[in-house]
Amino acid sequence: MEYSEIKEVIEFCSGLHSEPDVREVLEEAQYDEFWVDNVHFISEDVIEQVWEDSLIEQIKACFDLSDVPSFVEIDWVGTADNCKVDGMGHHFNSYDGGEDKVTIDGTLYYVFDNH
């Protein structure tokens, strides 16, 4: 990774309210999804699937579906798509709904600062 890119990541992290540890961010950037100091990083390669899975998990946690007969089929993908109307920030950032982006070593990450 070039120094200019490391400098951009340093500036980006210092601009976040949670100010995640830059060294840890750079180490964790080998993964598609990771957390550092209340900041959630998700690569563009997996963001849609993580978002959909997370929405479905949240829906199942919020509603008691134990009485739904086995013959009833729920379109989970369609239901998750309907929940996406407010954007990713409102789902992944419980603090203020904000969403940022940063490129680390050639990978674009969506960033949610949950301070």
Domain that holds residue 100: 3-113
Three-class SS of residue 75? Answer: coil
Show pLDDT as tens, one digit a residue, over the chain (115 residues).
888 899 999 999 999 999 999 999 999 999 999 999 999 999 999 999 999 999 999 888 998 888 889 899 989 989 888 888 878 888 898 778 889 999 999 999 999 998 8
What residues contact residue 11 under an 8 Å CB cut-off, 6+ apart? none
- pLDDT at residue 3, rounded to an integer: 85
CA distances from 12 to 30, 85, 86 (A): 18, 27, 25
Three-class SS of residue 8? Answer: helix
Total domain count, the chain: 1
- pLDDT at residue 4, rounded to an integer: 87
- pLDDT at residue 10, rounded to an integer: 94
